[in-house]
Amino acid sequence: MSAASETFSSILAQPTPLFPLELGRRNPEIGKLFAASLTSQWNPATIIDWDGLDLQAFTAEQRQALRVRWSRRAWGEYGAISESPALQIRFCHDRLDADTRLYFSIRTQEESRHAEISYRLAEKFGGYIDAPAEEYRGSVSSHGIRRLALDADVPVESTIAALVCSAEQIILENFMHVAKLTTQPDIRRVYQLILRDEARHCAFGWYLMANRLPHLSAAQKERVREAVVTMIEQVELNGYQLAWLAPDNAASRAQIEGDRILWRGGLGASTEELEKPVFIASLRRIRERMDSEWGISLPKFFHPKTGEI
């Protein structure tokens, strides 16, 4: 993600004061999310009857499309696994409240579950694909959050606003859309479980920002705005989560066609025609909420397939 500064000042090279420890409750809404996560655990190894999943119920092209779809999901989740501990380190470095640090400890575990269930599904339907095609890699490679989290010159609020209140909010609403279209029970169950976790992740971001924004200067709020714009323009509108937004090439067309095959069978995907209004509505809601709650005005965005948003 190009928002990372050219001269990288890592917090890992700085001394971090650890004492005195401050363990008081400062953000009770985030504390409630932590409690909810503790009581909402699930095991990817047992949540599906893997041995009882009848592959003969799927056509060969459906199995291949599922293999590709869930490999693609795993690529994104692996990034989440690395970004979570990086942000946890940043929260400790910046001495954020204990509620925030505790919640993110379990967020890492939740993202690991999402990665494992995605990997298991890809393996079941033909074998996990360990990397995207070269021409598609530019759309789904890392969005740079781990680097931003460790960059002392980048306010942590910028990173949370871009990652959680923008990117995760978009995928949450897309997953809600896809789950409604999914009729295969096991795949629908996976979406429902991931959605439950992701809803807490998004709520965390908005709660944290509500707590932190009153203390930010005008210059810091501008950094938040710039980070959100960069995430949307250079990551989301480049096809990081929705293949039809990626640059047109053979690899992205294959992803789009695979999703269409799955949509026809109710197997956990959608199409450009159906996802486009969901995506546009998500961006508009994010813009309206950031304007009304944060006093931050986002520009209009443009993509050839959506027009001006």
Q: What digits encode the pLDDT tens for the residues 14-62?
A: 666 665 666 656 778 999 999 999 999 999 999 999 999 999 999 999 9
- Rounded to whole angstroms, the Cα distance separating 72 from 66 reads 10
Q: What is the mean pLDDT of residues 188-202?
A: 96
Task: Please determine, for residue 134, whether its predicted confidence score (pLDDT) is greater than 70.
Answer: yes
Q: What phi, psi does 95 have (nearest 5°)? A: 55, 45
Q: What is the mean pLDDT of residues 300-308?
A: 97
3-state secondary structure of 307: strand
Task: Please determine, for residue 201, whether its predicted confidence score (pLDDT) is greater than 90.
Answer: yes
Q: What is the mean pLDDT of residues 144-157?
A: 81
Residue 1's pLDDT is what? 44
Instruction: Calculate Rg over the CA atoms of the chain.
Output: 19
**Within 13 Å and on the Cβ side, how many CA atoms surround 1?**
30
Q: Name the nearest CA neighbour of 236 among 147, 152, 172, 151.
A: 172
Task: Please determine, for residue 285, whether its predicted confidence score (pLDDT) is greater than 90.
Answer: yes
The domain made up of 28-33+57-308 is a member of CATH 2.40.110.10: no
Q: What is the mean pLDDT of residues 156-184?
A: 96
pLDDT band at residue 170 under the 50/70/90 scheme: very high
Q: What is the mean pLDDT of residues 177-183?
A: 98
How does pLDDT run across 56-72, given as a tens digit for each residue? 999 999 999 999 999 99
Residue 137's pLDDT is what? 79
Task: Please determine, for residue 5, whether its predicted confidence score (pLDDT) is greater than 60.
Answer: no
Residue 3's pLDDT is what? 43
Residue 254's pLDDT is what? 94
Residue 302's DSSP bridge partners are 308
Please state which of the ranges 12-26, 114-128, 179-193, 212-226 shows the lowest mean pLDDT. 12-26
Residue 87's pLDDT is what? 87
b/e map 100-133, b = 16+ CB within 10 Å = bbbbbebbbebbbbbbbbbbbbbebbbebeeebe
Q: What phi, psi does 10 have (nearest 5°)? A: -80, 140
Q: What is the token pair recorded at 302?
A: 């443009």
Q: What is the pTM of this model?
A: 0.89
How does pLDDT run across 203-227, given as a tens digit for each residue? 999 999 999 999 999 999 999 999 9
Question: What is the domain partition of the chain in residue ranges?
Answer: 28-33+57-308
Task: Please determine, for residue 4, whether its predicted confidence score (pLDDT) is greater than 50.
Answer: no
Q: State what percent of residues in the chain have pLDDT above 70.
A: 92
Residue 204's pLDDT is what? 95
How does pLDDT run across 253-273, given as a tens digit for each residue? 999 999 999 999 999 999 999
Give the mean pLDDT of the chain. Answer: 90
Residue 2's pLDDT is what? 42
